[in-house]
Structure formats: C-alpha cells, structure tokens
Structure 1
Amino acid sequence: MNYGNSNCGVKKELLIMASVVAVFVTGGVILMSSGLLPEEKAKDFNALSNITLKTENIVIKEPTTGDNTYIYAINDVAKQAWEIAEKDSRVQDILAQTRGSAVTIAAVQPTAFVDPGGKVTHSGAGQVMITANWQLVGGRPYTDAESFTAIAGKQGESRQQIWNVFVDMDRQKVNSIANENERVMSNTLRKDIVYGGMNMYMPDAAITQAGSTVKWINESNIPHNVVGTYKTESGQTINNIDSGFFSRNESFQYKFAEKGVFEYHCTIHSEEGMKGTIIVVVP
C-alpha cells in the first residue's frame, strides 16, 4: 500500500477545494459591494406599497325595457377582454340563447396593477362571466314586478346558468368556454319575504306598500348581504342600507316608510346577477 501517493492526492483535492472557495468568496464580496445580490435587491422590493390594484368598474351597458342585459368590467383591460369575447360566434350563440332572461356580463380578468411610475401591467389571461337568471311564479314566467300579496302562496322557482369565457389577450381570441350546472331554487312565496339562494334572490323584483317591513332570508350555505339605495318620492336618497353578511337561516329586514324604489345587490355575487328591486307604493 503506497501511503505517499495517497497523501499527495489528498493535498491536491484540498488545494482545488480551497481555490473554489476563494472564487466564491471573492465573487460574493464583489456582488455585495455592487448591490447585485438577490438579498440586496429584495430590500428595495415592497409589493404592497409600490404596486396598486387598478379597479374602475366600467359600466358598458345598462338594462333597457327590451333588453335586460347589464355589462360591466373591473378595469379597462378587462373591458378589452369582453370586446374580444363578444365577437366570438360561440358567445353570440349564448347571448341569443339567453335572450329574454336577466343577463349579467362581467369582465373580471385580467387584474391590472399600476406601479409608482403609472405603468399598467397585467397577465394575458382574460375572463368574462355570462350569467342568465330567470324566474317562474305559479308555473308562469315572472318578468314584471308584482305585489307580494298577489304572488303569496304560489310556487316560486328561480333558475341560473353561468358561462365562463376564457380569453387570450395576446392572441386576441377566445380560448375556451366552460358552462356550470344550472342552479335551481324553489319555495312557496310569502308576503314581504325575499329568499336568498345560491347567488339568487327570489322574487328578484316585487311591490310592497309604504310602512311595510320586507325580510330577506338566506337559504344557501354561503353568506350573502343586501346593499343598496332607497330613492323616495319625496326626493330623499338613502345610500347607507347595508345588512352586513348573514349566513344560512339568518335574515335581514328593513321598513320602507314611504313611496319609492329600493335597488340592491349582494356585493360578493353581483357578477352573477344577484340583485333585486323593491317597489314601494302608497296603499
């Protein structure tokens, strides 16, 4: 056994290792002095303070008497996603299919961010939600608001269909469309009661008398709220009506003192058309 040759080999390996370590140490010192280390750069990075979310909620179309379609976008980039989607033949077929329903179209992606210099950045993935809601009362289409007294005791049914349209912003085309299972909510209607289901209110529009108290009952497994504006005939506008979130079997009620109109929505499900109207009349 030749111990001399073995010792030489060990010394060689130690010299090579020392040289490698020296290179790394020298390189590290240079990077630290120049501020190029990732850790040095990280000290200057603060995502929350340097970048802000750009939200505008741009209303593209309001409902009309002949076309109950509401279209909005969360920012101008998402608006472009809708402008791409509406040219797609498959989307046009969906809109033709939902004609006559209460349709909400929400351009919810891409999210846009603004840096301190005002530059807007966003991903190339857009998303548009198309939601169609329609209701039946006593087996007939319920399209115009009726009084709670007239519909009380009848079977109410609310239906909802949702399509998610995924848009390639870079290629200016629709990649795919996914539709969710139809949601159905049914119950026997009662005077001055609005049921909240799986992202639907039923009835979505109704007439009550001044001095009445309307109650909203949550029958779904997720929380909802009632937020809206009550415009009275006397010219008063009450903007701060907000139930807060209430869960399954919980409720919220509000007394309507005078003639007017209360338009409301659920803040976390408005993109799915979860909104309603209470019309207050004089007895």
Structure 2
Amino acid sequence: MSLNVTLNNGVEMPALGFGVFQTPPEQTVNAVTEALRTGYRLIDTAASYFNEREVGEGIRRSGLDRAEVFIETKVWISDYGYDETLHAFGKSAGKLGVDQIDLLLLHQAVPTDFDRTVDAYRALESLLAAGRVRAVGVSNFMPDHLATLRKRTSIVPAVNQIEVHPYFTQSDVQQAGADLGIRTQAWSPMGGITSYRGTGTSTFDDPTVTAIAADTGKSPAQVMLRWHLQEGRSAIPKSVNPQRIAANFDVFDFELTPDQLAALDALDTGVRRGPEPETVTREAFWRDIPEA
C-alpha cells in the first residue's frame, strides 16, 4: 500500500506519522531524530505540548531537507480568534524554525464560544491562501461541530484528528468526516490511553488483538496500526524507545484479512478515554502559549 494519503486539496501526506504528545522537551529532540532516521516523514506536535522548539531541532539534526518532512501542529484554544490565531501561527512557526507549516489544525472545538472557533478557522483559511500553510484542519471536532463549521467557512478541513483505537472507533465522527471529504487521523491509535486511563483490559492485551498478532507474526501494536492504514486513516503513534519507534513503522509488509479488520472493528466499547469534547471551555482548559 502507499506510504502516503492524498488530502482533499491534493496535498500528499504520509499515512503513518510520529507523535510527541506528553514527550518531555528534553527527550523530544532525540525521539524525533530517531523517528526520521527510521523512516517516518510526518511529525505531529502542538502548541500545547510545549515541545515545538525541540521538534524543530530534531528535524534539523536529522539532516533531511525541509521539503522531505511533513510538519503538523495545532493551535490551542487560548489563541483562538482571527488575529490571535494568525499570531499563534507565528509562534509555532518560530519555535519550529520554519516559514511554512504543512498541516495546521485547531486543537479542539469550543462549543461555548464557537464564534471564536470559527474566527480561528477563518485565520487558518487566510494562512492557506497566503501559502503559509499547505493544508488546514481540526482536531477532536464532533459531527455537529463539523457541520456548523462547514456552514460558516469556505474551506473543508483536510483532517480531523480524533481518538481512534479498537476500543473507541467514533464511527459516527469518521463517517461525518468522510461525507465531507475529511481524512480521519487517529491519536492514541493503538489505545495506549487504555493502558494508563481507566480500568479493565488494555487494547494491547485484548484476546482478539493478541490472536490476530499471533496469526500474522506481528505485535499487537503493529496489528492495530495496520488496521488504521487499511481502513484509510492516518495514524500517529508515539514512543521515545528506539526499538518501539522502529517496530511501529514496520507495518507495510503484511495485510489483515477482511475478517480480521471486522473483528477489530467489533471491539468498540463506545467509551472515550480522552476529554469529552462538549466540556472544553477556554476557562477550564486555558494554557498560556509562550512567544517564540
């Protein structure tokens, strides 16, 4: 299968990326450099991860040309609003050390202040028109958020990055996105969040996942990543362990059968592990994003 997916504006994006959520800044440089050495070409970060500067340094240390690396980051809700979001782009670009960002997302919808969310997205549209970003999108937007945004803005988001793993597939959100031509990108794609948040079985220990892993000669993590890719999603696993970084990229040499894909789909519990999108407010989730 192709290593890339084509976004709705024709931009090619690597299907499998490398994430740095909760990666401490002091570990981020080496993790990013190792990921790029392994073969990843998409690096996902966010202003609210407070490690954009280190992501930029890791990319520079890799020795790769800027054009070879697809950089994705997100504007935090504290910086929503038209002028504020334009400024947020400058902060992120400055920390990353780049003039252009490949994919810029709004990190969350703010249901209690959706006007400001729309203004932020209009700023992304302006950045796209000016060539400062190559594609724009959203993260953690639910179907009603997508529908309202579509009515009030001009450009369909290229990506909606949401929590997707075998225990939480958000099929309604995926379908709402697909209906609009929006690519789903999975965060916590292997269900790592099931290991440290909540009780019960982790996806890594699920009998269905481990049985498919045994049948394919792959690890549970590799099976889950392959599931995303075969179903057309982008996925952004994270790790600071060089062996795991390499193993997570080694998913292009096997195929899951239709029955195996269906078995993984059937594991959905409907239980969200991340923040409930409707509870996100600027007051409760405010974070000061430093200048570049």
Q: What TM-score results when the alignment is normalised by the length of structure 2? A: 0.29
Higher helix share: 2
Considering Cα pairs closer than 8 Å and 6+ residues apart, tell me whether 1 or 2 has the greater RCO.
Answer: 2
Bigger CA radius of gyration? 1
Q: What TM-score results when the alignment is normalised by the length of structure 1? A: 0.29
